[in-house]
Every structure is written in structure tokens, then in C-alpha cells.
Amino acid sequence: EKLTVCVCGGGNGAHAMAGLAAAHAQTEARVLTLFQDEAERWTNFLKDGDFTIKRIFPDESVKEIKAKPTIVTKDASKAIPGADMIIFCVPAFAHGQYFNAILPYVQPNTAIIGLPGQPGFEFQCFHVLKDKARQCTIMSYESLPWACRILEFGRLVEILGAKDSLMGSIIVGKSKLKIDPAKTLQSMLGEHPILKMANNFIEPYLMTKSIVHPPLLYAKWRDWDGQPLSEIPLFYQGLDELGASSLSGVSDEVVATAEAISKQKPELAQTHVQHLLEWYRHDYRETVQDPTSLFTAMKTNQAYNGLVHPMKEAGQGKWVPNFGYRYLTEDVPFGLVVTKGLAQLAGVPTPETDRVLAWCQEKLGKEFIVGSELKGKDLALSRAPQAYGYKSLDDLVALL
């Protein structure tokens, strides 16, 4: 039976996913991209050339796949009707725009998939699509399945290392799909990553690795005197004991939140959530040279070689930190503010998260937290449960 997939977005991930969907047997792939003139440019390239995915495997073998989406458009009325799967492959700040665009056209029994979803994806989906969302299957994955990048817009995308495994979640609601969406996605992705299923949609929120970035920025720049630097500091490997202890504290609070939720609401069991140190010891066992502590694990993680702080040029060969980078703009409203919101619903105090958030929001020029409570005037710009009126863990259970 024929399958129709609509990929939302026009960046690296959307290029890769659109190509893999188009290459999948009996599948029509469409692309909905709302940003600027991306749809027009991509359409023009498709008219007179190939669309190629260059897939690089761990043994360094390369496979080139040529497959075209049938349509690339910014018009949801052309992309969405008849789609069995709608896959979001855009940064979280753009999700709201896509939910609103698809709203008039989403049909019951569609799978809506965040790839990645990032914390609060489901809250926003229910908020915008309302009853329509209950008729659909909502899924989200913790990250993109691979590292990937556009080499030539609309023509050529490179897929580098696929992750080993990828955790996702599913809310079936009242939907009855003609396909198994996780199996279908797996067959498009190939052998890796192996798609796994979390207990519930909250679990990936508390497993998100985006909590790493804000504490590292806070620790590095909180005492900065404002003077431009002549060298760009290392991001992960450059952390100091204070950074490690802040990060570990935030991670402790996330784990405490998971435990409190599991205890109060067995329906929302959080059995996969672990401290970051455990994650580094396991997932980076090949590259971490000294796994004694979070500090040593990050300092000696060879996978982080060369990764530096986001900086901007300040003239005369000097640099200042770029606080407009996604480590803050994405990972605060669609990351740490959401985990803070869950902690608040579970009654877990989070002094370290609060300290980090207070600093981050000032850099962003926003107010999410006031003291230890999420009641700032910009809370609605985040995807915390409180931003959508969820007042208790029972409100979250009701979404299952």
C-alpha cells in the first residue's frame, strides 16, 4: 500500500529525512518548508537535477542515494492532505509555526512525529491542534537520528555517523493508523539508529541532553568582565570544577524530579532517566578516557575535541561570547525551563537549576523564573507545562 510522508522543515535534518523517505519503497515524500524562499529554491533545483543523499558509514564506506520528494512547498494545503506521517525536522523554535500551518489540514489517524521533538513538543501539539491531536498519534524522538549537513541546498546532503539508538515516545490517543509509525520510520532510517520506546512522553524530556549547555555557559561566563578574548575557549573540555559541579547539580535535580514523578504517578514511570555521569560512562565509553567524575569524563572525552564556545568577532582578532546561540535560545525555553516546570509539578526543589536559569534568562532578555517559581512574564514563550495551564501531574496523565 502507498504511504505518504510530509517532512516539515528545510534545513539539514529535513533534507536528509526527505531524501530517505523518498527513497523508501512505495512512499511519496513531500516537503513543507515555511522559511523565506526555501520552498521555491528547492523546487527550482529539483526541476533540473538530482537530489542526493551521501551516506557515510562507520567503516568509511559511502552510499549515494538518489530520490526526490514529489513536491516542496510552503503551502500546507498542498503538503498535508493525505499525509500518513508528518515528520517535523526543524529546531524547536519553529514548531509553533508548523503546528499552526498544518492545523486546518491534518486528518484523523495521522502520525505527527517530532524528529527531534525536544521538551514540550506534545504540550505545544495539544495546545495548537486541540481535539485534532487526540485523533492522531503523536510521537517524538530525543534527537536527530544522525549528524547531517547540507552540502548543496536542495541538491546534496551528507549523513555522517548515525546514532546507535534513539529513544522516542508515543501517544496513540483515539487514533487508528493504517501503519505502525515506529516500524515504518525504522525501515526508512535503515539499521541505525535502533529506535526504542520510552515509557511515556515525559521520559525523553528528562533525558534531554540539552540540559548540558546552559550550566556550562553559566559557569564559564558568569564572572566574565566583558573584555574580549584573544582565544576561543573550549566548550566541554574547557569546563572547570565549578562548571562540573553546577552541571552535576542540575542533573541531580532532573533525576530527583524523575524519581518523584515515578513515585507519585506510576503511569508516568521514569525508569530510563539517569544522571549525566552514567550517560557519559555508558554512551561515551569508547571516547572518555577518565570516567571517575563528571569533571574528568567531560575533560577527557575525545568526542569533544575541538568543540568551542559559541563566540562572535569583536574586532582586532578578538572574541566575545555569542549569547544568541541555540545553547541558550533553544535549550532554555525548550529545555531547562521545561524540566524546571516538571520539577515544580512534582514538588522537587531545584536550587541549582534556578541559579542557572536566573543567569540565562538575563542573557536572553527574558523572564521565565522569579525566585524559585516559574511565573515570569515570558513563561508563555517557553514550553513548560505551566505555559499551557497544566497545574498538576494529573493534568499530564490525562494527556496519555
Residues that bind ligand NAI (CB under 6 A): 9-14, 33, 35, 38, 89-92, 94, 97, 116, 143-144, 147-148
CA-nearest of 1, 13, 54, 17 to 185 is 17
Q: Which is nearer to ligand NAI, 10 or 321 (CB)?
A: 10
Q: Which is nearer to ligand NAI, 72 or 92 (CB)?
A: 92
Chain length of the chain: 400
Q: How far is 142 from 208, CA to CA, in rounded Å? A: 7
Least Cβ distance, residue 42 to ligand NAI (angstroms): 10
Least Cβ distance, residue 348 to ligand NAI (angstroms): 27
CB within 8 Å of 187: residues ≥ 6 apart: 24
Q: Is 213 a catalytic residue?
A: yes
Q: Which is nearer to ligand NAI, 154 or 321 (CB)?
A: 154
Least Cβ distance, residue 158 to ligand NAI (angstroms): 10
Q: Which residue is nearest to ligand NAI (CB)?
A: 11
Amino acid at 2: K
Q: Name the catalytic one among 213, 272, 275, 309.
A: 213
Q: Which is nearer to ligand NAI, 16 or 396 (CB)?
A: 16
CB within 8 Å of 362: residues ≥ 6 apart: none
Least Cβ distance, residue 100 to ligand NAI (angstroms): 12
Q: How far is 71 from 77, CA to CA, in rounded Å? A: 12
Q: What is the CA radius of gyration of the chain?
A: 21
Q: Which is nearer to ligand NAI, 87 or 268 (CB)?
A: 87
Least Cβ distance, residue 51 to ligand NAI (angstroms): 15
Which residues are catalytically annotated?
A: 213
